[in-house]
Amino acid sequence: MVEEITLEPEVVQIFECIDQGKNFLLSGGAGSGKTYSLVQVIREAINRNPAAHVACMTYTNAAVREIEDRVNHQNLTVSTIHDFLWDQIKSFQKELKAAMVALINDPAVEAIASTEAPVPADYFDQHEKGIQYKEWVSLKDGFISHDELIILAGYMFARYVKLSDILKDKFKFVFIDEYQDTHKIVVDIFLLHLRQSGRKNIIGFFGDAMQAIYEDGIGDLDAYRTGSEELVAEVKKEQNRRNPSLVIELANRLRTDGLRQEPSTDPKAPNMIDGRVKAGTIEFLYSYSRDLAFTKTTRFFAGWDFEDAKRTKELNLTHNLIAPKAGFKDLIEIYDKDPILKFCGELKKHIKENGLIIPEDLTFHEVAAQLNLHVRKDSKLDLIVSDPIKKLLYDELKDLPFSVVRKMYQSKEALIDDKKQDEDDENKKGSKRDALVRHLFKIQFLIHLYLNKEYNEFIRRTEIKVTSVQDKIDIKNVILELNCMSTCNIDEVIKFADEKGICRIDDRLTRFVEEKQYLYNRVKQIPFSQFQKLFYYLEGYTPYSTQHKIKGAEFDNVLVNLDNGKWNEYNFKSLFIGGGSDRVLAQTQKIFYVCCTRAKENLIVYFDSPEPGVVAKAKAWFGEEHVHEIV
């Protein structure tokens, strides 16, 4: 028996497009319930076409699981965009190898073009497994990662109509969630390259152009909706089910695409109470003499509980701004601001720009000593060796071959990336955490499970066998001791957890220590408490979050700290008074829109030492009665 459901008006409009054979775009502002609409469309598509197969792509593995939980059907395939594209092309190894050779040999394709080009047509024939999609890149070994996959898929769909035929035969409907974060190459595949095939299917996009806050996303589909033929028809979803009326009014002032939201008329919507939309509160606070910490003690924050991370969030632009507040400052500086590797990067840049040939047997110090004076007028090397802390770091690397040091790379993504990774499946893509961070997460997660009395899950994830009451007592004592090792360094905790059998040192960690000894030597001296604080921050148990990380989330109380954090991709001053590049202004306005629309009850925006023009614009946006100086 087919389930009877009442379709939303926007979903009815979508199926009018589908009945006419048109691709569609559902545009909905923050809090409009786009995911609910997507689920309704998937269910209705299957109800009307029981034999048809539906593909749904979204941006994260977490979103994949959410949609799978809400629609459980054998004809539905849900995946990330990368995994979906790889599934379509991975079987065609002959064409894949030819495409890779062409892209490597094309200097216009900077992301793939190799310095070893040109390569022969049979370059990849030696690899029995062919081209493989991995978490890392090694073109000579045939390993591609996320960025290369997008380029490769675009190249192949543009050239091989057979791929479009096969995809259309497989899937009558292809739906793409959070389309605004999707790369233009991906959109071209579905709206341009698939048209080469005479077969029919429907492509549907769901998202919001004002929430396009990732640099490599397409942002909007305007270019595909102009000219003689509209490639995708727009359906607007203008209701808002999340925000109180004052936040909705502010958000409408921030939008630049003409979509105006109205409160939902559904009495069961979260932003309704007793049949009326909540008013909520919005405040713009600024100060020339007080900092944010003091501001949070004022009357405006009465009733806010910053210990309740599920209801209250302070949003900052970068992890670097959060790290000192959240307690993992040293860790992020190691991964993001290593002075020796930064210096090595300057040397590499100088070598490349000047076409220099460096003998393989030269040490890092020999190269640095020879090239340093040419890199900058002042001797950067002298500055390093005159600093006791930097000299210690430099001494660890100076006698290694430069050919080894130049390949060393540290990224804060390996530390703070919060995509989940299923440790039982090494083939799953998503997490960029390195082996050391994953090992530390496993230790702390086991502590967290035990202390929260999730004993069955704890036992499943550890190698300890429980066969007696004494075993249970021993485990309890070990976990309590581990949890009390906050002041011990990370190396001590790893060894203790291994010795007690809670979390064994495996081949991945051993290999990491061997291959990245410099990084490990730095991290192992840090107190374990810093990692514990990083763990609880990334798991959402702290009141802090980046402004990018919370897209899609919602909280009763939201504090937005308008600090650029020395990131020149955003400029909050220009947001209020103009100036700067149009691109930076657009990005800043979108991130501000996303932040403000997280609030379900109360929104406070803080700006330190603003110019008069900033205050004037704040009064226009927030209302004069909602703008206050903290003295």
User: How far is residue 469's CA from residue 34's CA, in Å, rounded to a whole number?
Assistant: 51
User: How far is residue 241's CA from residue 237's CA, in Å, rounded to a whole number?
Assistant: 11
For the CA atoms of 366, 370, 376, 379, the dihedral, rounded to the nearest 10 degrees, stands at 70
303: annotated binding-site residue?
no
235-261 exposure pattern, b = at least 16 Cβ within 10 A, e = fewer = bbbebbbbbbbbbbbbbeebbeeebeb
Rg for the chain (alpha carbons), in Å? Answer: 27
Mention every residue, 6+ apart, whose C-beta is less than 8 A from residue 397: 340, 364, 405, 408, 518
Element containing residue 575 per DSSP (H, E): helix 572-577
Structure tokens at 142: 């045939």
User: How far is residue 396's CA from residue 408's CA, in Å, rounded to a whole number?
Assistant: 13
Q: Is the peptide bond before 50 cis (omega within 30 degrees of 0)?
A: no
Q: How many CB atoms lie within 10 A of CB 617?
A: 18
Return the residue matching tokens 């003295």.
Answer: 631
Q: How many CB atoms lie within 10 A of CB 506?
A: 14
Return the residue matching tokens 């290999």.
Answer: 511
Q: Where are the beta strands (DSSP E) in 507-620?
A: 544-546, 555-561, 599-608
If 0-12 CB within 10 Å is exposed, 13-18 middle and 19+ buried, where does residue 419 land? middle
User: How far is residue 306's CA from residue 325's CA, in Å, rounded to a whole number?
Assistant: 12
Q: How many CB atoms lie within 10 A of CB 581?
A: 12
76-96 exposure pattern, b = at least 16 Cβ within 10 A, e = fewer = bbbbbbbbbbbebbeebbebb
The 8-class DSSP code of residue 224 comes to: G
Closest-CA residue to 434 (of 371, 511, 380, 496): 511
User: How far is residue 259's CA from residue 249's CA, in Å, rounded to a whole number?
Assistant: 12
28: annotated binding-site residue?
yes
Task: Give the torsion sign (CA, 266, 267, 268, 272).
Answer: positive
* β-bridge mates for residue 399, sequence order: none
468: annotated binding-site residue?
no
Return the residue matching tokens 């800043």.
Answer: 588
289: annotated binding-site residue?
no
- Enumerate helices (H) and strands (E) in the chain, giving the number of each: 28, 18
35: annotated binding-site residue?
yes
For residue 57, report the phi and psi dihedrals to the nearest 5 degrees.
Answer: -115, 140
Task: Give the torsion sign (CA, 148, 150, 155, 156).
Answer: positive
Question: Helix, strand, coil shares of the chain as percentages rounded to 5?
Answer: 50, 15, 40
For residue 80, report the phi and psi dihedrals to the nearest 5 degrees.
Answer: -75, 160
The answer to whether the beta carbons of residues 414 and 331 sit under 8 Å apart is no
501: annotated binding-site residue?
no
**Binding-site residue set for ATP:** 28-35
**Binding-site residue set:** 28-35
